[in-house]
Structure 1
Amino acid sequence: MRLESAVAGDVLERILSAYGFTMQKDLSDKLGIAKSNVASWLQRGQVPGNVIVQCALDTGSDVNWLVTGELAKASSVTQGSDLKGKELYDEVMSNGGKPVLRRLMDAYGFTLQKQLCELLDISSGTVSTWVRRDYFPGDVVVACALDTGVSLKWLATGKGEPKISEPEAAPISRIPKFRFESGRLKDSGHWTADPSLFNTPTDNAEYIEGVKYSWLIDRSPNEIGSGRWFVIVDGAYDVFDISRLPGSKLRLTNNAISYECAIGDIEPYGVVLFTLEKNI
């Protein structure tokens, strides 16, 4: 929704709600302008953009919500001051009546008070009493926060972001898993891994589980270099720390054996990225 097409009366209501004001005079005093200026916004059908920006900066309210009343696209803005104890209590209680009613309706996506009354199974007279007495319906505010996922701080005070940011789920890769037994690799399903474990994105990763050690390997390299490798020797799989020697020779070392051979005597299976050791 563009600023020009926003309903001025609704935008003004949300600005009053954000500040915790119930009267246009309170807003005009806050902005240092004549009350007639505020009334003229409704006549022209548009609230000045600089007023919306100032409200967002003053209260920490989301600009998108101020303009459209929508909560789904909440963006980061300057947060309001953090109060505690009696100061926070006083601020919450001063946001009763019409301001909190406005936020409750926006949280639920309602356009009519009747919709809120039907949802909560309360009379329209009860809601009218909230407005008339500047009453803060704490039980309804808590229920709305639980019901919609909207920020309780925003519902209660009008400050901060309407929506609570959900943490992004960490990406997970499912890679083939094998059990290493007696020189053979046996299919053992899949293993989930964080992609950040790999130096570069790879579709050729495998997880090999042994008795005492397990290995995360990358099968992409096809030329053996110095490092730890899974190789095939005479048809059997094994893992070695390999050093390249002059004359196209290799030195292979593990806990059981150490020897030298020609590069052509072994077949590379995969380079080891990580070795995991079981301690129990």
Structure 2
Amino acid sequence: MNDENLNTQELIERISSSYGVTTQRALAEVLGVPSNSISTWIQRNSLPGKAIIQCSLETGADLNWLMTGELVNSHLRDEPLLKGKQLYDEIMANGGKLVLRRLLDAYGFSMQKELGDLLDISSGTISTWIRREYFPGDVVVACALDTGVSLRWLATGKGEMFDSQPEVVASSISIPKKKLVSGVLNDAGNWLMDPALSAVDKDCLVFIDGVGHSWLVNTEAKNIANGRWFVNIDDSYDVYDISRLPGGKIKLTNPNVSFECGASDVTPFGAVLFTLEKHV
């Protein structure tokens, strides 16, 4: 993993902290790499993605904390399933088609080209992963941070696709959460909300997380009227501001497109109650 914004020295310090070691030699031993590898990574400001994955799965360190240092506590899970060489062997045995399939599922893609276009990776490179049973550690790290899927599931295929959600706070209600990726809705656990946000029955509510926005949707609403709606068109979901027109037609508008069609050409998923805009 080589990035001009990457501070390999700090990243290695967080990995060392997660393992509880203080020297480069000790870190090399727990990672199972040659003793001079650590200093080489620092000199080149480049660190293999599989080392980050191994540390996160082996120690329970949060992946986002390892990469950015934004969390205070690096040990978030009690005990890993595997450690050391057993864990490394399991990760490497999940290269090629196995990890590619999970990458596609995490992003909601059906074709390799979609993944390549998103990450600016050539089709030839992805084909090489399959041919050589290669484990693309850097891509796995990026995918886990980008989609929120479980790193353990992404790297090994074990466990749930999304980590379990925290216990419900007494004053909150839990509603289904879905993630919108390239027109596909994927289950993403639950979302906690203050019941004062909506008077709609919680059994009719769904929270949908998108790239730049998130939406609280009332799935009980099925009769399209003027307003913002979450709809399905040709097996692809998206959000549109809809205006009713004479003759059974509607006008659909969002930041990317504006068009008219018959009301019967769309299938409403639900009415949007409010929109959350992300600024980072």
Task: Give the TM-score normalised by structure 1.
Answer: 0.39
Instruction: Report which structure shows greater RCO (CA 8 Å, sep ≥6).
Output: 1
